[in-house]
Structure 1
Amino acid sequence: MRNDAQGAHPVPPPTPAESTGSHADRKGIAADVGASFVVFLVAVPMSLGIAVASGAPLMAGLVAAAVGGIVAGLVGGSMVQVSGPAAGQTIIIADLLLTYGWRVTCLITVLAGLVQLALGAFRIARAALAVSPAVMHGLLAGVGITIALAQLHVVLGGAPQSSALANLVDLPDQIAHNHTAAVAVGVITIAIMFGWNRLPSVGRLRPSMIPAALVAIGTATTIAALGDWRVETVSLPDSLADAWSLPQLPQAGQWDGIALAVAAVAMVASVESLVSAIAIDRRHNGRRVMLNRELMGQGAANTVSGALGGLPVAGAIVRSTANVRAGGHSPLSTILHGVWILLFVALFAHVVELIPMAALAALLVFIGVQMVSVAHLRDLRRHHEASVYLVTMGGVVFLGLLEGVFLGFALAMVVSLRRLTKLTVTTEESGDRVHVTVHGSLTFLGVPRLAHVLRTVPSGCRVDLDLHVDFMDHAAFEAIHAWRVDHERTGGSVDIDEVHEQWYARSSARSAPAAKTAPGGMARSWAPWDMRGDADREVDPLALLAAGAREYHASTADRMRSVMSRLAHGQHPTALFITCADSRVVPNLITASGPGDLFTVRNMGNLVPAPGDTNDGSVGAAVEYAVNVLRVPSIVVCGHSHCGAMQALLDRAHLEQGDAATAYMRRWLSAGEASLAHAGAYSGALAGLPTAEALRRLAQANVEQQIGRLLEYPVVRERVESGTLELTGMYYDLESARVHLLDTGTGRFTPVLGVQDVAAPVPRPRADAAGKDQPADESSSGASSRPSCWTPEA
């Protein structure tokens, strides 16, 4: 029995789906356990290697890996992210060790964790995502190069130098003179890391099932042990108690540097963790990451890790990816991997001590090279941010981590400011008319350039000023407005057309110029040509079309490219939309849809000929293609007010004996005869009504008649009866610009309510191709959340 506010109610028996829940839970737990072993095998060598690269005690890497798995898994907000020591912080830790010693570094880790806890508690995790990805990728690339250069010396049997530049200069001498057993261990490790996942599968066994790092370290260790090679191996303390280093307070004059170090560790760990969590969300279908909770989980892990003598902790994309690929789908796999690390250290520490240091160094060389991502550089180059990446990377390698990050931030800010102030001004002269086009953000920084161009416009001429601007500040408005007033005072005229926001129109409301700025304040993307001033500029239809194409290329094509490149490989429209050819009805506009949403058929009167009608087979062909091939879940028939075809039917024009010039129209309109009967035209129901009312009734009756005609098509009727196809009637009133939908229960057309009509509209479920209702998007509301009218419906 279950008690609630309504009283006691018996618990219903479980449905078949519910009865299998325990089995699914057991299967999910088994998958998490299996994934935890895979992540454990990846984490152990990587954690040891990062500890080596940082110069920290080797046990510190294992402690951080265990704590990151258990604490961050329990407290964090990601389902599958695995936390542990991260390569991105090796340079910071190495520098802190040299400056303050290991125990003070542990204190810095604790304080950084407390900072992260505070940031998560104040719910400002998303602020960390404001860091430019170009800076972050450049930081990681610089760290990777620094690690690879330093550890390459260890692989070659030598010792790393004090800086990346010194390592680079000394590298030729190391290559020429050091050929010890350590080199063979390193070469074996790197070769296996590089080639393991490229090996062919054997039946169902794939190389990726076993981590490459485990195979490489295991093989190199086995060969070195069996061959009795004299190489330096890992040295661990005798017990965990011996490895525990309590944090220590710094000296009195060091607190300023400690504060800066805490901020650096907290920033890098937070940004790296949050970016990694968002990236790994793309690879699984579970609950999305809760960023503030994840930040608090990372803070708790760093606090505990520092207190236990471990390295700083951050979300690790490599281990998280291995977790997802191995089937992990809940924090259980993350927590268990930390448990396995503790058990391994407690029971098999002697196995770890067989690992050659050169093998760990080779692993770090491979990881460091992989951190320099050519794919990231290619993507950033497309967005004109490659310079930020390269400057950050170079600064980290040759100057230091903080210096490189500051350089990257500074350049990123300069690039952003340049974009904000980027302005393009072009002029075209045609007779006594000058066309000036402005693209970009119009701020006070761009005023000198714009004013220079406007001063070159001859006095007394007619000027068309097109403002393709996403922002206009007051200084820019004052400059344009003052020039306009002066130009009109000398006998010229200025027609200002704002393509996006009405920046000038709003600013000029208190000091209106001689003429209106934009007719009705219409957005240019849907205002007719004759309402934009273009009709006077170019009266040739072909010239108007060409001008429209140029404007499309200038303002929209670049943004459309990513959408159309995805749609170029196939279409999956939501509806077959049958409507009138009337130029005043724009289907994508009245439905707020984009490319790929509507498979549209247009003709006079939105008529659907009967199956087998030999007058015209194009509509039937479109219906068959949409229903059989595209498998649309909906067909919409849309009529409209003031329809010329309906007026011709009402006037019986299709029955007149006209000349050959109207033969096709009369033959086509004869398909609407049944609509006249359905509206009651032959019974006198339309007699005496005003023309507009009679046309409305006929147009709406025609929509109902065409829906009935569609059901005469066998392919349509079969899918409607099976519940996989829905027929909808729509009516568009031109004067009110409102859409009406046919209510099949009452037979009436009712207006669709807008955002201003209802406080909280309930999203209507849509039917999928199988006829099943799909849940509405949680983020949907009365207003479309899509960025613009040309974006396809998701």
Structure 2
Amino acid sequence: MTVRNGILRYDLPASLVVFLIAVPLSLGIAVASGAPLAAGLISAAVGGIVAGFLGGSAVQISGPAAGLSVVFAELVHTYGWRATCMITLLAGVVQLLLGLFRVARAALAVSPAVVHGMLAGVGVVIALSQLHMVLGGSPQRSAVENLLELPAQIADLHGHAAAVGLLTIAVLLVWSRLPRKMRVIPAPLAALVISALAAGLLGWDVTRVDLSGLFTQIQLPVLPSGDWHGIVGAVLLVALLAGVESLLCSVAIDGHRVDLDKELTGQGIANVVAGALCALPVAGGIVRSTANKTAGARSRWSTILHGCWVLVFCLGLGWTVRLIPMESLAALLVFIGIQMINLGHVRKVHGHGEVPIYVVTLISVVLLGLGEGVLMGLALAALLTLRRLTWVSVQARQHDDGRWHVAVNGSLMFLGVPRLAAALRSVPAGADVDLDLNIDFMDNAAFETIHTWRLEHERGGGSVQIDELHDEWYTIAASGSRMFPAKTPPKAPDRWWLPWTHRRLVPRQGGPAALESGAKEFHERTAPLVRAIFTELAHKQMPSHLFITCADSRVVPSLITASGPGDLFTLRNIGNLVPRCGLGPTDDSVAAAIEYATQVLHVRTITVCGHSGCGAMAGLLSGGVKAGSMPGLRRWLRHGNHSLARYIDDHDGPGAGPLDRLCRLNVLQQLENLRTYRRVDELVRSGQLELVGLYFDIGAARVEVLSAVGEDVSGSARRTGNMVL
């Protein structure tokens, strides 16, 4: 496909979709910013044409940003409109210089929780201020005042103005639930058109949008007057907020394909042009960019064409904007403000423990202001990062032989000294102590604490054996040598638990080459660490468990049980099935493993471990259809008929769905099948053997205990449960 065909087929239709969304959004953001309405449309055109042509993102749409409306409105109130446009121009120069010096990636160091909290706070401020206009009143100076005045505003509704605003919100809420064919028209455009038609047909008394003199009254920016510290701060604030929002948006839309330095340079030039034309600041917008990508845009031509359509609209169809009630634009802003409070972002930051950063930033933006809120969020993010970097875990416990074991994990520095000292004081005088230091850093305060305690403890008759599992921080410090200047990376193997496709040192294609490289890595990295253990095990194995599990490649017994060499005597087959003793077709391999484990190895536990999404269980549910032309598999699956019968009878069994329920019930059934072996049943009754059922949820990486069976003369399960390990 030629480039021209791609533009006509994908980018042209996408540009029209984004244009229909950009026009009402630009007008609404101009209202929220306290700027002339024409400034919003000019900003959209400049963002599309200039930033789209010069930027480093393929499908990001730039234009007036709702996230900047609060700070821009404050600047307009402080310095005046034309002086604020000069601040926009200077902010563009700052962005241009930052892009030329290739520092754009530094913006990615800002915690996303701060950015999302900032946008949510701005959304709250916008929604509260514009809600007063929807209800027919006027917004107050601050979000707190708007909130306090809201009850009185609701009690004193201004008829037609409130009606057209509420109608706009109603259309925006309902539009997403309409049939797909109707939703071809963007919801903002539909809401403004319907509200304008209703106001015109019913003769409502509303405030109309005025775009008169769009190009004839364009003025040049002027230098702001006042304290230059405040002016410089305003320039940097606009530059950084617009730049960070654009860069994060471009990464979210284009991934890591985007050229961030080029994108920041393009945004800077666009803001220079926007400031010179007395327009709103330009930044990447996630709503318009997402719509552009969803509409099928393939290249920057969609962004450029959308800017051209906005320009054509201003020149030829600007008169239609006069039909739009101002209250409808305010209602659109209320809706946009609420959408900026994205619960999906809360869920994302919750997984990383960054909800406090999000909440503090949001509240600070609402109560204190945008700049202050961002600084509060950044300060809290820095404190939490410092806490994580200095995290240390100290545990002290006494073993059965009387020796004490103290384990220290993490970064051991002065902030963790109180916890370390408390644990060491809990060790009684004269005790024999094993001190494990699994640390990646130790400062002088921590060393002095350990060294002083060790000398005092040994003088009191005790002994201290220090084992440094990571790096020899204590040994180096005790010898008087110079300490390392920074943390050191762990010396563990190169993520041995990862599959070949996720590892750097093993060929991704698998096959013999992967096995050969894997063996080489084992010899170089792992073998030296475990050679002593295997030397001891070479003469005799003494496993404590017979572990029966599925042959599924995603189930790794040693990984999900945190077991090591010599712990598990493992039996694997399709579906982790245990054929009932004496029931045909016979399978001597399973019976032989059970006999050897119980009569020769004398294991104390037999575990049956099933897993989610088991293909064998899916085959059972399909009645053998999924076994296809595999006669051996069909014969083997007959051993699962008792599990299938149990599934049919037990409608209240555990599990989220039919397959999950059968996978879990199959584990319980195999435990019963084990009791059909006379020797197993005798050992269980005498209390010498325990049967345990495990279930591995692959998607959640979670292991559950489904059942444990011990001594029970009645033959029923002694303990059953569904405990998460």
Deviation at 1:525, TM superposition (A): 5.9
Number of the residue aligned with 1:734: none
1:475 equivalenced with 2:445 (yes/no): yes
CA distance in structure 1 between the aligned counterparts of 2:159 and 2:233, rounded to whole angstroms: 42
CA distance in structure 2 between the aligned counterparts of 1:342 and 1:578, rounded to whole angstroms: 59
Sort the Cα spacing of 1:427 and 1:470 in 2 relative to 1 into closer, same or farther, 3 A: same
Compare 477-486 and 264-273 and name the one that shifted more. Answer: 477-486
Deviation at 1:508, TM superposition (A): 5.0
Deviation at 1:29, TM superposition (A): 3.9
Sort the Cα spacing of 1:91 and 1:288 in 2 relative to 1 into closer, same or farther, 3 A: same
1:450 equivalenced with 2:420 (yes/no): yes
1:213 equivalenced with 2:188 (yes/no): yes
Aligned Cα RMSD in Å? 3.7
CA distance in structure 1 between the aligned counterparts of 2:216 and 2:469, rounded to whole angstroms: 71
Of 227, 231, 235 in structure 2, the residue corresponding to residue 254 of structure 1 is: 227
Deviation at 1:509, TM superposition (A): 5.8
1:402 equivalenced with 2:371 (yes/no): yes
Sort the Cα spacing of 1:406 and 1:524 in 2 relative to 1 into closer, same or farther, 3 A: closer
Pairing of 1:769-788 with structure 2 (within 5 A):
none
CA distance in structure 2 between the aligned counterparts of 1:578 and 1:107, rounded to whole angstroms: 63
Number of the residue aligned with 1:232: 207
Number of the residue aligned with 1:196: 175
Number of the residue aligned with 1:142: 121
Number of the residue aligned with 2:86: 107
CA distance in structure 1 between the aligned counterparts of 2:465 and 2:284, rounded to whole angstroms: 56
1:132 equivalenced with 2:111 (yes/no): yes
Number of the residue aligned with 1:319: 288
Sort the Cα spacing of 1:590 and 1:82 in 2 relative to 1 into closer, same or farther, 3 A: farther
TM-score, structure 2 normalization:
0.67
1:294 equivalenced with 2:269 (yes/no): no
CA distance in structure 1 between the aligned counterparts of 2:220 and 2:513, rounded to whole angstroms: 76
CA contact 1:72–1:300 (8 Å) conserved in 2: yes
Of 429, 432, 457 in structure 2, the residue corresponding to residue 462 of structure 1 is: 432
1:393 equivalenced with 2:367 (yes/no): no
Deviation at 1:181, TM superposition (A): 1.5
CA distance in structure 1 between the aligned counterparts of 2:425 and 2:457, rounded to whole angstroms: 10
Sort the Cα spacing of 1:475 and 1:37 in 2 relative to 1 into closer, same or farther, 3 A: same
Sort the Cα spacing of 1:277 and 1:591 in 2 relative to 1 into closer, same or farther, 3 A: farther
CA distance in structure 2 between the aligned counterparts of 1:401 and 1:464, rounded to whole angstroms: 53
Number of the residue aligned with 1:223: 198
Sort the Cα spacing of 1:192 and 1:468 in 2 relative to 1 into closer, same or farther, 3 A: farther
Deviation at 1:296, TM superposition (A): 0.6
Task: Name the SS for the 1:241 alignment partner.
Answer: coil
CA distance in structure 2 between the aligned counterparts of 1:192 and 1:361, rounded to whole angstroms: 14
Number of the residue aligned with 1:84: 63
CA distance in structure 2 between the aligned counterparts of 1:188 and 1:501, rounded to whole angstroms: 67
Deviations 1:276-296 (A, max 9, x none): 1111125xxxx8111111111
Deviation at 1:132, TM superposition (A): 1.8
Task: Name the SS for the 1:415 alignment partner.
Answer: helix
Of 314, 317, 329 in structure 2, the residue corresponding to residue 348 of structure 1 is: 317
Task: Name the SS for the 1:335 alignment partner.
Answer: helix
Number of the residue aligned with 1:46: 25
Aligned amino acid, residue 219 of structure 2 = S
Deviations 1:412-435 (A, max 9, x none): 222222323333321111243111
Pairing of 1:555-704 with structure 2 (within 5 A):
575=510, 589=522
Compare 149-158 and 482-491 and name the one that shifted more. Answer: 482-491
Pairing of 1:297-446 with structure 2 (within 5 A):
297-430=266-399, 431-446=401-416
Number of the residue aligned with 1:273: 246
CA distance in structure 2 between the aligned counterparts of 1:523 and 1:392, rounded to whole angstroms: 35
Number of the residue aligned with 1:27: 6
Deviation at 1:507, TM superposition (A): 4.4
Query: What are structure 2's unaligned runs of at least 5 residues?
Result: 483-487, 503-507, 527-537, 539-547, 556-591, 594-628, 631-700, 702-725
1:62 equivalenced with 2:37 (yes/no): no
Aligned amino acid, residue 43 of structure 1 = A
> In the comparison of the two structures, how many residue pairs are matched?
527
Number of the residue aligned with 1:4: none
Task: Name the SS for the 1:40 alignment partner.
Answer: helix
Compare 437-446 and 228-237 and name the one that shifted more. Answer: 437-446
Deviations 1:85-105 (A, max 9, x none): 101111111101111000000
Deviations 1:108-158 (A, max 9, x none): 000000000111111111111222222211111111011001111111111
Deviation at 1:502, TM superposition (A): 4.5
Task: Name the SS for the 2:209 alignment partner.
Answer: coil
Sort the Cα spacing of 1:502 and 1:225 in 2 relative to 1 into closer, same or farther, 3 A: farther
CA contact 1:498–1:524 (8 Å) conserved in 2: no
CA distance in structure 2 between the aligned counterparts of 1:468 and 1:193, rounded to whole angstroms: 57
1:174 equivalenced with 2:148 (yes/no): no
CA distance in structure 2 between the aligned counterparts of 1:212 and 1:107, rounded to whole angstroms: 34
CA distance in structure 1 between the aligned counterparts of 2:212 and 2:243, rounded to whole angstroms: 31
Sort the Cα spacing of 1:522 and 1:389 in 2 relative to 1 into closer, same or farther, 3 A: closer
Aligned amino acid, residue 191 of structure 2 = A
Deviations 1:171-216 (A, max 9, x none): 1111112141122211221122122122233xxx362x33111111
CA contact 2:440–2:490 (8 Å) conserved in 1: no
Sort the Cα spacing of 1:363 and 1:478 in 2 relative to 1 into closer, same or farther, 3 A: same
Sort the Cα spacing of 1:526 and 1:280 in 2 relative to 1 into closer, same or farther, 3 A: closer
CA contact 1:499–1:525 (8 Å) conserved in 2: no
CA distance in structure 1 between the aligned counterparts of 2:78 and 2:25, rounded to whole angstroms: 25
Aligned amino acid, residue 86 of structure 1 = A
Aligned amino acid, residue 80 of structure 1 = V
Deviation at 1:165, TM superposition (A): 1.1
Aligned amino acid, residue 224 of structure 2 = P
Compare 215-224 and 105-114 and name the one that shifted more. Answer: 215-224
Of 130, 133, 138 in structure 2, the residue corresponding to residue 159 of structure 1 is: 138
Number of the residue aligned with 1:187: 166
CA contact 1:234–1:355 (8 Å) conserved in 2: yes
Deviation at 1:458, TM superposition (A): 3.1
CA distance in structure 1 between the aligned counterparts of 2:178 and 2:273, rounded to whole angstroms: 41
CA contact 1:499–1:524 (8 Å) conserved in 2: no
Of 227, 236, 242 in structure 2, the residue corresponding to residue 263 of structure 1 is: 236
Deviations 1:580-620 (A, max 9, x none): 9xxxx989846999xxxxxxxxxxx9xxxxxxxxxxxx9xx
CA contact 1:64–1:305 (8 Å) conserved in 2: yes
**Percent identity between the two aligned chains:** 53
CA distance in structure 2 between the aligned counterparts of 1:330 and 1:590, rounded to whole angstroms: 49
Number of the residue aligned with 1:7: none
Deviations 1:514-546 (A, max 9, x none): xxxxxxx9979679xxxxxxxxxxxxxxxxxxx
Task: Name the SS for the 2:138 alignment partner.
Answer: coil
Aligned amino acid, residue 150 of structure 2 = L
Aligned amino acid, residue 454 of structure 1 = L
CA distance in structure 1 between the aligned counterparts of 2:356 and 2:447, rounded to whole angstroms: 34
TM-score, structure 1 normalization:
0.61
CA contact 1:499–1:523 (8 Å) conserved in 2: no
Deviations 1:54-90 (A, max 9, x none): 1101001111110011111111111111101101111
CA distance in structure 1 between the aligned counterparts of 2:408 and 2:205, rounded to whole angstroms: 72
Deviation at 1:220, TM superposition (A): 1.2
CA contact 1:77–1:293 (8 Å) conserved in 2: yes
Deviations 1:696-734 (A, max 9, x none): xxxxxxxxxxxxxxxxxx99xxxxxxxxxxxxxxxxxxx
Deviation at 1:444, TM superposition (A): 1.5
